[in-house]
């Protein structure tokens, strides 16, 4: 049955190839019964018109007769072709697979980022991105997938940084602080000259701690000397009237 069906194809001889090495359990291998005609000679006895005594004589003659034997054989299934180089059945794509591989009968597979053209199932197309993807790969029409360490922002792959407030992420996990900021403990903090006993709240903006006032000469904060006191120590405690 199977053979008759296969032989309806013009390429019958190409499709039906019997190979001993094919394992029945391999992909693309089908086991089919095949009838072969054989001949053998058979002896038989017959009477001839000659008398041996009262009866006709019996002589032994031979004739050839044909008979059929059915054998199971491994063939490449429909849609598969024998590949003599590797001795396996390979899937066959009748239209070819431009830019890709035939992975199942009439099924092409493309290597990413190339994908199967929806209109021509035997053609792989490579997506195009304009402008080209920077720090990523083009996976579809104007669609970029960003490389590791980069994230998509407004269609562009920008480097990612853990915490880059007051700075600019110039490459993955590499934050460059804006002018007026300095990196302390991995984050960009405003930088101030001086600012002892105070908090630097913005570049060169020092807010003195409670009870301190600013020395505009060195930008440090100090405890002011109480009024009417001539001499104070560094903590603003009046030293007037104390023994030297």
Ligand X SMILES: *[C@@H]1O[C@H](CO)[C@@H](O)[C@H](O)[C@H]1NC(C)=O
Contact positions toward ligand X, by CB under 6 A? 23, 25, 33, 71-72, 215, 217-218, 222
Q: What angle do CA 212, 216, 220 make, to 5 degrees?
A: 50
Report the distance separating Cα 123 and Cα 79, nearest Å.
Answer: 19
Q: Which residue has the tokens 């992975």?
A: 103
* Minimum gap (Å) between residue 25 Cβ and ligand X: 4
Nearer to ligand X, 52 or 213 (CB): 213
Q: Which is nearer to ligand X, 25 or 66 (CB)?
A: 25
Quote the least distance from Cβ 175 to ligand X, whole Å: 34
Residue 137: Cβ within 10 Å count: 16
CB of residue 72 vs ligand X: minimum separation in angstroms?
Answer: 4
- Looking at beta carbons only, is 23 or 193 nearer to ligand X? 23
Residue labelled with tokens 């903590």: 235
By the 10 Å C-beta count (0-12 exposed, 13-18 middle, 19+ buried), 175 is classed as buried
H/E element, 13: helix 12-15
Residue whose CB is less far from ligand X, 110 or 206: 206
Residue appearing with tokens 């993807």: 133
Q: Using alpha carbons, select from 130, 137, 128, 155 the residue that is nearest to residue 146.
A: 137
CB of 204 to ligand X, least distance (A): 16
Report, in Å, the least distance between residue 207 CB and ligand X.
18
CB closer to ligand X, 66 vs 217: 217
């Amino acid at each position: 049955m199977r053979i008759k069906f296969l032989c309806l194809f013009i390429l019958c001889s190409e499709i039906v190839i019997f190979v001993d090495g094919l394992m029945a359990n391999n992909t693309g291998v089908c086991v089919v019964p095949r009838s072969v005609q054989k001949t053998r000679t058979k002896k038989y006895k017959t009477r001839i018109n000659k008398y041996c005594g009262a009866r006709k004589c019996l002589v032994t003659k031979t004739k050839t007769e044909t008979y059929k034997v059915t054998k199971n054989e491994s063939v490449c299934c429909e849609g598969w072709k024998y590949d003599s180089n590797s001795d396996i059945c390979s899937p066959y794509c009748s239209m070819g697979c431009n830019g890709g591989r035939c992975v199942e009968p009439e099924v092409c597979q493309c290597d990413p980022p190339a994908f199967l053209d929806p209109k021509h199932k035997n053609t792989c197309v490579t997506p195009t991105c304009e402008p080209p993807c920077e720090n990523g790969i083009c996976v579809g029409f104007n669609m970029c997938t960003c490389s590791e360490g980069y994230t998509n922002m407004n269609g562009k792959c920008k480097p990612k940084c853990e915490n880059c407030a007051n700075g600019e992420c110039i490459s993955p996990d590499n934050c460059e602080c804006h002018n007026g900021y300095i990196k302390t403990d991995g984050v960009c903090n405003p930088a101030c000259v001086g600012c002892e006993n105070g908090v630097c709240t913005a570049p060169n903006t020092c807010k003195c701690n409670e009870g301190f006032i600013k020395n505009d000469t060195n930008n440090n904060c100090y405890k002011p000397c109480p009024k009417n006191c001539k001499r104070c120590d560094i903590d603003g405690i009046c030293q007037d009237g104390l023994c030297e």
